[in-house]
Amino acid sequence: MHRVGSGPSEPEAPSQPSSGLAGGLATEVRSALPGCMEINNVNVDPGYRGQGLGTALIHAAEIRVRSRGHSRVGLGVDEDNRRAAQLYQRLGYRDRGVRYVSRYAYADDQGTDRDVEANRFLIKELVAPADSAGQA
Ligand SMILES: CC(C)(COP(=O)(O)OP(=O)(O)OC[C@H]1O[C@@H](n2cnc3c(N)ncnc32)[C@H](O)[C@@H]1OP(=O)(O)O)[C@@H](O)C(=O)NCCC(=O)NCCS
């Protein structure tokens, strides 16, 4: 997880393969959503998928985002990755029309080698937990 469009005093975003367009390094996302936090590279071992681990990982990341004082978080998903997109939409992530292309060698969910990924950046506005509402 890191902030999109990191300023000079912030740590470097994790290194990404090739062109610098992957994940939080996408200039399209930076310019459209400066300062937005990003969840990046969600991945569960194939033998453990469909058991709630992906949902738990995302919820844990959202708690960290909130604890750092941010109320908006997003994540990029391959336009072909419909199942992951369904999961994110179920968790409240919405398509606001931000797009970017990543170029790096990877195997997709079906094990096919690919090197270009067209992504949608989905956004969620986080609400404070009910028990912290109204507190200073
Ligand atoms: C997407 C991913 C992280 C979800 O993790 P998970 O532990 O299976 O997620 P959960 O159990 O909390 O939720 C299951 C939902 O995840 C989605 N999903 C996406 N790919 C899936 C897969 N291969 N197997 C199972 N569920 C998958 C579905 O919406 C599924 O709901 P459904 O069973 O009603 O179709 C996981 O499938 C994964 O690692 N996929 C490969 C890497 C990837 O595509 N990452 C997303 C990058 S944006």
Q: Which atom of ligand 1 is nearest to the CA of 108?
A: 44
Q: Under DSSP, is residue 85 helix (H, G, I), strand (E, B) or coil?
A: helix
Q: Is residue 13 part of a domain?
A: no
CA of 101 to the centre of ligand 1 (A): 21
Contact 32, 95 (CB under 8 A): no
HSE-CB at 113 with a 13 A cutoff on CA atoms is 1
Q: Tokens 């950046």: give the residue.
A: 121
pLDDT tens profile 19-48: 334 445 588 998 999 989 999 989 999 999
Q: Is residue 64 part of a domain?
A: yes
Q: Is residue 124 part of a domain?
A: yes
Q: Is residue 54 part of a domain?
A: yes
CA of 84 to the centre of ligand 1 (A): 5
Q: Is residue 16 part of a domain?
A: no
CATH, residue 55: 3.40.630.30
CA of 28 to the centre of ligand 1 (A): 26
Give residue 27's domain range. Answer: 22-128
Q: Is residue 116 part of a domain?
A: yes
Q: Which atom of ligand 1 is nearest to the CA of 85?
A: 29
- pLDDT at residue 132, rounded to an integer: 53
- pLDDT at residue 30, rounded to an integer: 86
Q: Is residue 63 part of a domain?
A: yes
How many domains in the chain? 1
Give pTM, 2 decimals.
Answer: 0.80
pLDDT tens profile 36-87: 999 998 999 999 999 999 999 999 999 999 999 999 999 999 998 999 999 9
- pLDDT at residue 1, rounded to an integer: 59
- pLDDT at residue 126, rounded to an integer: 95
Residue 126, ligand 1, Cβ within 6 A: no
